[in-house]
Structure 1
Amino acid sequence: MRELGISIYPGHSKIEEDKEYIKLAAKYGFTRIFTCLLSVEGDKEKIIENFKETINYANSFGFKVVADINPKVFTELNISYNDLSFFKELGVYGIRLDNGFTGNEESLMSYNEYNLKIEINMSNSTRYLDTIMDYKPNKYNLLGCHNFYPHLYTGLGREYFRVCNQNFMKYGLVTSAFVNSQNATFGPWPVKEGMCTLEEHRDMPIEVAAKDLFKEGINTVIISNCYASEEELKKLGELRRDLLDLSVILVDNIPAIEKEIVLNTLHYNRGDVSDLVIRSSQPRVKYKDHHFQLFNPVDIKRGDIIIDSSLYGTYAGELQIAKKDIKNTGKTNVVGRVREEEIYLLDSIAPWEKFILKEIK
């Protein structure tokens, strides 16, 4: 199951504003909340009281709230890893260990009597998780979650991100990573240069970054900073989470059948892949009796969506998406184009991978 989440920081915001944000996110199908207990400075009783009120409100909408903590918090609040009743009373779904223990403590915590989830920091490529697994935890109570990086240029690179993911995915653990709102103004730390997991997502439209994370196999995509706009929440809520949906712009004069092929087909890349194009061949079978007129045989640019005309014989009706600039043979119609910000996603579409195309204006 794939989920969407938001973040709230009760120590840095007003309760009523957080509640409005939670209610709005629930409207668009969000089900997870990340919050931060790393800073418990000040009036601890007041801080905890505010956390409880906000978390109880979130729970009333069915949210699963995970609180970020570290060993220092255990000490400051006089909590033992053998007794997680404090977090049960707080109302959280689980706790995220920003910094870990030795592995045995995490394993023991996973068997807590309250069935609280124990979320492990994913943003490292050490054998930390393997050590926890060596201590035979209840893996059904273990989750993985990446860090976010507020400082420009400090987010993870993609290859390292994938290495970290593999450590968790090999055990079948539910994983999470962060995207940042371009509308948000604050997070838990003073630096406010975006709060993404992958550095390349920092200035990217939020829904494109989310598509990317889902495509990478991440289960839960969480907005890290506050507050995302309603438009951003709506765009995320409308995403297909089970497959890649690419946003496309169609040419003005596209015929009805070609438009139907683009927008009403479950496409998949052929197994015998090409370096130059992604091929969706089934439309040529479905519409084998249709005559495809030639109407826009212009040269083809990377990201263009093309459908072969009947001049191509048995290939007529096949949809392709160009991965590189190529010359048109004069038999193919350019019928649209993938949104510029999403073209890079074409490079990682695997053999037999399914995808859909959704029109934007």
Structure 2
Amino acid sequence: MHRLGISVYPEKSSKEEIYNYLTLASHYGFTRIFTCLLSVTKSADEMMQDFTEFMNQAHQLGFEVAVDTNPEVFKKLNASYNNLEPFARMGVDILRLDGSFGTAQDIEITHNPYHIKIEFNGSVDQGAGLMVEHGANREQMTICHNFYPERYSGLDWDLFNKLNKHWKSYNFTTAAFVSSNAPDTHGPWNVFCGLPTVEIMRGLPIDLQARYYLATGLVDDIIIGNAFATEEELKALSEVEFDCISLKIDEEVSMTDVDRAIVYDYFPHWDRHDHSSYFLRSSMVRLQYKDTSIPPVPYKQDHFKKGDILIVNDNLAHYRGELEIALRDIPNDGERNCVGHVKEEELMLLDYIQPGAYFKMLK
């Protein structure tokens, strides 16, 4: 099951701003919160008071809260790997370990009696899989990637997927960060270039970042790393399809009402199991339009390119109405009308539509 999350940094904003943000995110179906104790400079007593109040508000709105910690935070709160009572008193649901106590101690902390989940860093291999093999409680373990404030420092996309395949081999729940593109956002540190996990996601529309993560089939929870995202961004994430790959397209001016019905209204589109390397084929739609004339429309290019949205026309009547998406250059032989194009920044999504997989186009 996929969940959406936000990040808040109580020492950076007023209580009113934070509560309003939590309320808005809750309205759009967000159920996770990430927050950070590493950057808090207040005394232990003040930290305990402020974050306990924050946790209570978050729980009332239905959120599960993860806090980023390290051994120094434990020491400050008079906690230890075998004594999480201060965090339990605070109301923490998930303890993210930014650093290790050692393998034996990290195994022991997963057996804590407060049922606080222990979250390990997914962007490096801290040995969470090895811990499971040596007695760690997998039911109280979860994985969350880092975010990267510094431009160009985010994870490589291929490494991100390699790591997630590793975590999924142990059946861990995984989480990763997307980044708001709103002006004047912040994180725990004074760096303001967004907070994504993967570098190539920095600056992309926030819903597209999420759709890339979901397309891999390796990311469960998606968390906005910086605060505060706009309501438009929260809404956009809340509308992302979790169960199929969705694509935004640019329409051709020649697109007809019949074309729009085939592209947008027919669902589910799914690529044939007998997959072609030349195009994705949504074949069942043609049964609905087999008796509908689709006149050929001249197209200025002699070849279709990757991402072109094609509909078979009257010149190939047996397949008339079939929707296809080009995966490579294909000669324009007059049998297909080009009705639109997958947006340039979304083309990589096509690589994740496997034979038999559902997909849809977004208006």
TM-score, length-scaled by structure 1: 0.94
Mapped to 2, the partners of 1:11 and 1:28 lie a distance apart of 24
Partner of 1:239: 240
Gaps of 5+ in 1: none
Mapped to 2, the partners of 1:140 and 1:317 lie a distance apart of 49
Contact 1:125–1:163 under 8 Å retained in 2: no
Contact 1:6–1:223 under 8 Å retained in 2: yes
Choose from 313, 323, 329 the match for 1:319: 323
Aligned residues: 358
Mapped to 2, the partners of 1:341 and 1:85 lie a distance apart of 47
Shift of 1:253: 4.5
Contact 2:39–2:189 under 8 Å retained in 1: no
Shift of 1:172: 1.0
Partner of 1:148: 147
Mapped to 1, the partners of 2:55 and 2:248 lie a distance apart of 35
Residues 61-70 or 9-18, more deviating: 9-18
Shift of 1:196: 0.8
Q: Does 1:214 align with 2:218?
A: no
Shift of 1:92: 1.9
Partner of 2:3: 3
Mapped to 2, the partners of 1:202 and 1:171 lie a distance apart of 29
Structure 1 SS opposite 2:263: helix
Mapped to 2, the partners of 1:106 and 1:125 lie a distance apart of 14
Contact 2:155–2:199 under 8 Å retained in 1: yes
* Cα distance per residue 1:21-59 (max 9 Å; x no partner): 111111111110000012342333222222122221111
Q: Does 1:348 align with 2:356?
A: no
Mapped to 2, the partners of 1:181 and 1:79 lie a distance apart of 34
Structure 2 SS opposite 1:10: coil
Shift of 1:281: 1.5
2:341 counterpart letter in structure 1: R
Structure 1 SS opposite 2:11: helix
Partner of 2:136: 137
Structure 1 SS opposite 2:131: helix
Partner of 1:29: 29
Mapped to 1, the partners of 2:305 and 2:165 lie a distance apart of 34
Mapped to 2, the partners of 1:211 and 1:3 lie a distance apart of 13
Partner of 1:291: 293
* Equivalences for residues 118-197 of structure 1 within 5 A: 118-125=118-125, 128-183=127-182, 184-197=184-197
Shift of 1:233: 0.6
Partner of 1:336: 340
Shift of 1:301: 3.2
Structure 2 SS opposite 1:356: strand
Residues 288-297 or 80-89, more deviating: 288-297
1:307 counterpart letter in structure 2: I
Residues 29-38 or 68-77, more deviating: 68-77
Residues 171-180 or 261-270, more deviating: 261-270
Gaps of 5+ in 2: none
Mapped to 1, the partners of 2:300 and 2:139 lie a distance apart of 54
Shift of 1:105: 2.3
1:112 counterpart letter in structure 2: N
* Cα distance per residue 1:124-160 (max 9 Å; x no partner): 146x112211222221211100000101111110111
1:196 counterpart letter in structure 2: P
Q: Does 1:226 align with 2:227?
A: yes
Shift of 1:339: 2.6
Mapped to 2, the partners of 1:195 and 1:310 lie a distance apart of 50
